[in-house]
Amino acid sequence: MHHAHAREAVGAAYSAQALQAAQAQSWAALNAIAALIHPGMRETDAIAMGQEILTQMGADLNWHPLLIRFGENTLKIFSDRSNQDAVLADNDIFFIDMGPVFGGHEGDVGATFTTGHDAEMIACAHDAEGLFHRVKAIWDGGSVSGKALYDAAKAEAEALGWVLNLDIKGHRVGDYPHSVHKGGQLGTLEVVPTQSLWILEIQIRHPIRPFGAFYEDLLA
């Protein structure tokens, strides 16, 4: 499969169908893990449980570590360490971010969930997913660069009253390891992103309170 843009290079084993299948399996794993996370659980215990589920579901390995963030740790980006071993509260927010490999192809999914009835946390989790779908719809329309997608995401987030974290701007996936091709961030891509190669990431935060939400999926 030939891609005109060097940032969209893939390996000989790459298949869009296999990548989409890996994504579907990743979503199934994420939802299975989310269903078992409950107030009183520690972040480290949730991650250990999640890793067990991924192994049971046949993940070959993780191309990036399983991240589960509770409470204030939802403000942190991928490269940040969590503060202490947070315990999930009765009224709280958490997200799961995973990058397992299934069938030699990289999955990458992320979503936010809430416990209890904090209306702003519930809205934040809901709007992170909603923003993803709004921005994906712009991409579905065609002729929009990766950079323009993140300009739109920032404006849409602000219109809803959230702050978009522009340190997180999406990235490449592919047949494992995609990293040999050095795809970089989607938000710096000056061309229209090709189908089944790019992950669109949305990370927002409350303008004042110490929590945020995250959602990511494949542009396919």
pTM for the whole structure: 0.96
* Residue 2 scores a pLDDT above 70: no
The helix-helix angle for 16-34 and 43-56 (nearest 10°) equals 130
- Look at residue 127 in the predicted model and tell me its pLDDT: 98
User: Could you identify the residue written with the tokens 């999406």?
Assistant: 170
Could you tell me which residue, 212 or 4, shows the higher pLDDT? 212
Q: Considering the domain boundaries, does residue 52 fall inside one?
A: yes
Q: Considering the domain boundaries, does residue 1 fall inside one?
A: no
For the segment 107-159, what is each residue's pLDDT rounded down to a tens digit? 999 999 999 999 999 999 999 999 999 999 999 999 999 999 999 999 999 99
Task: Give the helix/strand (H/E) hosting 25.
Answer: helix 16-34
Q: Considering the domain boundaries, does residue 92 fall inside one?
A: yes
At 58, is the secondary structure helix, strand, or coil?
A: coil
- Confidence tier at 4 by pLDDT (50, 70, 90): low
Q: Which amino acid is at 109?
A: V
What's the CA gap between 190 and 104, in Å, rounded? 28
Q: What is the average per-residue pLDDT within 51-63?
A: 95
* Residue 214 scores a pLDDT above 60: yes
Share of the chain above pLDDT 90, in %: 90
- Look at residue 3 in the predicted model and tell me its pLDDT: 57
DSSP alpha helix (H) spans, 35-74: 43-56
CB < 8 Å & 24+ apart, contacts of 73-81: 73/43, 74/112, 74/205, 74/211, 74/212, 74/213, 74/214, 75/205, 75/210, 75/211, 75/212, 77/165, 77/167, 77/168, 77/203, 78/168
CATH of the domain at 163: 3.90.230.10
Q: Considering the domain boundaries, does residue 130 fall inside one?
A: yes
Contact at 8 Å (CB) between 186 and 199?
A: yes
Please, what's the b/e burial string for 61-98 (b: 16 or more CB within 10 A of its CB; e: otherwise)? ebbeebbbbbbbbbbbebeeebeeebebeeebbbbbbb
Contact at 8 Å (CB) between 204 and 212?
A: yes
Provide the number of structural domains found in the chain.
Answer: 1
- Reading the block at residue 114, the tokens are 């809430």
At 26, is the secondary structure helix, strand, or coil?
A: helix
Q: Considering the domain boundaries, does residue 53 fall inside one?
A: yes
> In terms of residue numbers, what domain contains 157?
6-218
- Confidence tier at 199 by pLDDT (50, 70, 90): very high
* Residue 177 scores a pLDDT above 70: yes
Share of the chain above pLDDT 70, in %: 98
Which of 4-8, 40-44, 201-205 comes out lowest in average pLDDT? Answer: 4-8
